C-alpha cells in the first residue's frame, strides 16, 4: 500500500531493486489485481530448493511455474567420468530419504548390462532394504505433509519410527543416510542375526504406532478440510504426464513395477498394490499409509524366507572379491587390482532398468562402450516427472493449497535436480 | 510381442524402421527422424500395443562426424506391461528433432532437459527453455566436448 503513494521514479527504483537478477517478471499493470509471488527456493514448505513462481488473482492461483536446478550437481556427467563402482556413493545423494533403494536400482541396472545373476540370499536382503527404505521415506512424507498443513505432532511421531529404521541401517552397513550398501554382484557385507532381531522388534510395534499416527490425522477436521479435493488430477492426465508411484496409484492406476515387471524376488512374495480413485492430496496420503502396511507385510515374509548362502555372486571379472581373500591370495589380489583400476568393462550395449522406489519409478539407462566407464548414464528420477504436473494441479486452487499439494507429491530435490 | 511392434512400425512406410535390435530382452527400434511423431501416435493409439506412457526421453552424444546425437525414448504399455525403446538421430550443425509433447505431455520437461544438456532443439515444443542451467549459460554440459571441471567464468557470481 505504501508503494502506491510514492512518486513514480522512487517506485520504479524500488521495483528494480526487488527484481531478482536471475528472473525478470514483467508486470504490465502493477495496479491490476493479479500479482506474481515468488515461493522458494528457500521456503520451508517446498521440501528443499524447489522454486515456484505463482500468479495470483486475490488468493486464487492463476498460473504456477516451477523452476528447478538449484541443486543440480551434474551427476550424469560425473557418471561418465567415473567407473561403475565409483558411482554407487553418488546414488545415495539422489533421493536422500531412501538411499538404499537407489543403491539397489543402480546395481540392478549394471547387473542387467553385465548379465550377472545375484545369489538368492542377496536378492532377499535387497528386498528387505528396499522395503525398509520405502517405509522410512513414506514416514517422512506423511509427517512432513502433516506439518505442512499445521499438524506438527505427526512429524515427531513418524520421525520416532524412522529413527528405529535408521538405527538398523547403522548396524547393517555402518551409516544412517549415506549407506552405499550394495555392490555390483552383491552386497558390501552380510545381513546379521542382530539386524534380524532389530527388524522383528521394529515390526512388532510398527502397526500399532502407525495406527496412532493415522488416528491423529484421519479424524482431524483441519487436516481433512485442507487435503480433501485439493490438487486433483484426472486419471488420463496422470498417465499422459508419466506420473509414477503414489500420485499415480491415488489416481486409480494400479501400476507397480514390483508386480508388473518383477525384479529381485518380488514374485515370490504376497502383497497388494494400493489404489485410490479420488486423486487428491488426501488420497495420496492414504496410499502412502497403506503402502507402509504392505511393506511391513513384505518384510515379515522376506525375513521368514531369508535363505542361507553367499551374498556375492561368483564372477571374478565383475564382482569384487572378499577383502580377507584380497589380502591373502594372489589371484584375488590381481582381480581386485584390475577391477579397481580398469573397471568392470561390461559388453557394448544399452539397458534400461526401472524399479519401484518410494517416489515412483526410478530408472537407470546405461550406454556402455565396453570400457570401464559408462559412455552415458541417464537417471530417470520420479520426482522430476511428478513435479512436472504441478502447474495443472495448482491452477484454480487457493494459495494455501500449494503447500498441501507439494507435501502430497513428496518431491526430493536431490533427485529432481540430479 | 517385439516382432509385432516392428511389424506395425514397418507398416507406416518403407524406410521408417532403420534397424531394430534386442539386448537383454529389451527391444530398441531406430526410426527415421521425421517419422517419430507419427510412429509415436501409432504406438499410443494402436489398441493392441497401447504404449500409453512415456517413461523417459534422453539423448546420447556419440561424438562422431555423422549423426552425432541420438535421442532415445522409453515407452511403457500399461496394458501389456511392456517396455520399448525408440531411437532417432540428428546431426551436429542443426540438432533438431520433432517434439512429441503433442503425443504425451510428459515429454515437456524431458525435452527441456535434453535441450539444456545437449542443445538439441525440439521443434513444436511449447516452452523450449533450459530446465536446470540458468538461461544465460551458453554451453551444453553433457556434450562430450564440455570439460568435466566446467568452463571458468561461464556463470556470473551473485551480485553483492
Nearest CA in chain A to B72: A365
- What are the domain boundaries of chain B? 2-99
Q: For residue A80, give the H/E element and its range.
A: helix A75-80
Sequence-ordered alpha helix ranges (H) in A233-280: 235-240, 246-250, 257-260
For the cut 50, the answer to whether the pLDDT of residue A4 exceeds it is no
Res A303: pLDDT: 92
Q: What is the pLDDT of residues A18-29, one digit of tens each?
A: 665 555 555 555
CA atoms of A224 and A282, how far apart (whole Å): 7
User: What burial class does residue A327 get, using C-beta atoms within 10 Å of its C-beta: 0-12 exposed, 13-18 middle, 19+ buried?
Assistant: exposed
Residues of A in contact with B60 (CB under 8 A): 367, 375-376
Superfamily for the B2-99 domain:
NADH:ubiquinone oxidoreductase Nqo5 subunit (3.30.460.80)
Residue of higher predicted confidence among B116 and A30: B116
Higher-pLDDT residue of A172 and A29 is A172
Cell digits for A135?
A: 517405509
Record: contact A240-B52, CB cut-off 8 A: yes
Is residue A236 pLDDT above 70, yes or no? Answer: yes
Is residue A397 very low, low, confident or very high in pLDDT (cuts 50, 70, 90)? confident
B55 vs A68, A240, A354: nearest CB: A354
Residue A22 near chain B (CB below 8 Å): yes
- A3 pLDDT exceeds 60? no
The 10s digit of each residue's pLDDT in A63-96 is 888 988 888 998 999 999 999 999 999 999 988 8
Which cell goes with B117? 544438456
pTM: 0.88
Listed in order, strand segments (DSSP E) in A68-193 are 182-183, 186-187
Domains detected in chain A? 75-394 (1.10.645.10)
Q: What residues in B contact A78, CB-CB < 8 Å? A: 148
Q: What is the mean pLDDT of residues A240-244?
A: 92
Q: Name the band, by pLDDT with cuts 50, 70 and 90, for residue A197.
A: very high
Confidence check: pLDDT of A33 > 70: no
The predicted model gives A140-148 an average pLDDT of: 89
Residues of chain A contacting residue B108, judged by C-beta atoms under 8 Å apart? 388
Q: How many CB pairs under 8 A join A and B?
A: 92
- Cβ–Cβ below 8 Å for B159 and A261: no
**pLDDT value at A364 more than 90:** yes
CA distance B106 to A240: 6
Which of A378, A384, A418 should be substituted to probe chain B, the one whose Cβ sees the most B Cβ atoms within 10 Å? A378
Task: With CA atoms as reference, report the closest residue to B27 among B87, B89, B88, B84.
Answer: B84
Question: Does A370 lie at the interface with B, CB-CB under 8 angstroms?
Answer: no
With an 8 Å Cβ cutoff, are A380 and B74 in contact? yes
Name which of A74, A242, A260 is nearest B81 (Cβ-Cβ).
A260
pLDDT at B19: 85
**Candidates B53, B74, B130; nearest CB to A239:** B53
Evaluate if residue A345 carries a pLDDT over 90.
Answer: no
Name the residue in chain A with its Cα closest to that of B116. A69
Q: Which residue of B has its CA nearest to A72?
A: B132
Nearest residue in A to B110, CA atom: A385
> What residues are paired with A85 via a beta bridge?
none
pLDDT of residue A296: 93
Chain B contact present for A385, CB below 8 A: yes
pLDDT reported for residue B137 = 87
Cα–Cα distance, B9 to B26 (Å, whole number): 16
pLDDT tier at A316, thresholds 50, 70, 90? confident
**Interchain CB distance below 8 Å, A385 and B109:** yes
| pLDDT for res A11 | 62
Amino acid at each position: 500500500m505504501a508503494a502506491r503513494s510514492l512518486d513514480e521514479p522512487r517506485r520504479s527504483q524500488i521495483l528494480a531493486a526487488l527484481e531478482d537478477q536471475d528472473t525478470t517478471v514483467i508486470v504490465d499493470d502493477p495496479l491490476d489485481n493479479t500479482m506474481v509471488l515468488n515461493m522458494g527456493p528457500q521456503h520451508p514448505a517446498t521440501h528443499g530448493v524447489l522454486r515456484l513462481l505463482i500468479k495470483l488473482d486475490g488468493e486464487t492461483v492463476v498460473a504456477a511455474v516451477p523452476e528447478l536446478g538449484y541443486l543440480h550437481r551434474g551427476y550424469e556427467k560425473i557418471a561418465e567420468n567415473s567407473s561403475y563402482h565409483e558411482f554407487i556413493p553418488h546414488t545415495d545423494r539422489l533421493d536422500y530419504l531412501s538411499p538404499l533403494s537407489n543403491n539397489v536400482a543402480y546395481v540392478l541396472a549394471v547387473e542387467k548390462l553385465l548379465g550377472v545373476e545375484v545369489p538368492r540370499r542377496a536378492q532377499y536382503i535387497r528386498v528387505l532394504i528396499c522395503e525398509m527404505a520405502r517405509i522410512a521415506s513414506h514416514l517422512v512424507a506423511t509427517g512432513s505433509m502433516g506439518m505442512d498443513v499445521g499438524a506438527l505432532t505427526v512429524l515427531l511421531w513418524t520421525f520416532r519410527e524412522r529413527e528405529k529404521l535408521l538405527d538398523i541401517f547403522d548396524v547393517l552397513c555402518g551409516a544412517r543416510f549415506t549407506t552405499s550398501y550394495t555392490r555390483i554382484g552383491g552386497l558390501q557385507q552380510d545381513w546379521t542375526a542382530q539386524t534380524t532381531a532389530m527388524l522383528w522388534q521394529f515390526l512388532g510395534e510398527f502397526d500399532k504406532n502407525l495406527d496412532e499416527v493415522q488416528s491423529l490425522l484421519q479424524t482431524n477436521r483441519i487436516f481433512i478440510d485442507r487435503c480433501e479435493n485439493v490438487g486433483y488430477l484426472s486419471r488420463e492426465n496422470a498417465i499422459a504426464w508419466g506420473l509414477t508411484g503414489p500420485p499415480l496409484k491415488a489416481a486409480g492406476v494400479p501400476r507397480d513395477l514390483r508386480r508388473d515387471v518383477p525384479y529381485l524376488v518380488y514374485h515370490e512374495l504376497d502383497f497388494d498394490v494400493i489404489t485410490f480413485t479420488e486423486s487428491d492430496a488426501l488420497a495420496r496420503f492414504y496410499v502412502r499409509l497403506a503402502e507402509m502396511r504392505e511393506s511391513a507385510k513384505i518384510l515379515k515374509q522376506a525375513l521368514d524366507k531369508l535363505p542361507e548362502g553367499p551374498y556375492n555372486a561368483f564372477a571374478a571379472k565383475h564382482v569384487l572379491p572378499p577383502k580377507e581373500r584380497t589380502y591373502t591370495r594372489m589371484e584375488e589380489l590381481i582381480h581386485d587390482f584390475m577391477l579397481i583400476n580398469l573397471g568392470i568393462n561390461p559388453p557394448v550395449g544399452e539397458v534400461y532398468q526401472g524399479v519401484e522406489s518410494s517416489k515412483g519409478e526410478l530408472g537407470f539407462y546405461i550406454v556402455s562402450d565396453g570400457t570401464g566407464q559408462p559412455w552415458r548414464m541417464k537417471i530417470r528420477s520420479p520426482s522430476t516427472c511428478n513435479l512436472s504436473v504441478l502447474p495443472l494441479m495448482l491452477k484454480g486452487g487457493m494459495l494455501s493449497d500449494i503447500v498441501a499439494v507439494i507435501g502430497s507429491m513428496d518431491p526430493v530435490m536431490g533427485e529432481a535436480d540430479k | 510381442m517385439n516382432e509385432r511392434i516392428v511389424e506395425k512400425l514397418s507398416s507406416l512406410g518403407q524406410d521408417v524402421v532403420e534397424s531394430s535390435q534386442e539386448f537383454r530382452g529389451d527391444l530398441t527400434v531406430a526410426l527415421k527422424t521425421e517419422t517419430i511423431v507419427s510412429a509415436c501416435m501409432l504406438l499410443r493409439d494402436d489398441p493392441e500395443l497401447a504404449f500409453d506412457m512415456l517413461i523417459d526421453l534422453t539423448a546420447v552424444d556419440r561424438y562422431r562426424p555423422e549423426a552425432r546425437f541420438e535421442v532415445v525414448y522409453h515407452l511403457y504399455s500399461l496394458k501389456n506391461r511392456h517396455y520399448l525403446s525408440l531411437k532417432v538421430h540428428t546431426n551436429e550443425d542443426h540438432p533438431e528433432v520433432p517434439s512429441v509433447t503433442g503425443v504425451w505431455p510428459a515429454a515437456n520437461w524431458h525435452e527441456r532437459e535434453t535441450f539444456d544438456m545437449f542443445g538439441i532443439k525440439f521443434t513444436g515444443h511449447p516452452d523450449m527453455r533450459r530446465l536446470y542451467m540458468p538461461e544465460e549459460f551458453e554451453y551444453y554440459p553433457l556434450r562430450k566436448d564440455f570439460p568435466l571441471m566446467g568452463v571458468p567464468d561461464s556463470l556470473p557470481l551473485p551480485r553483492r
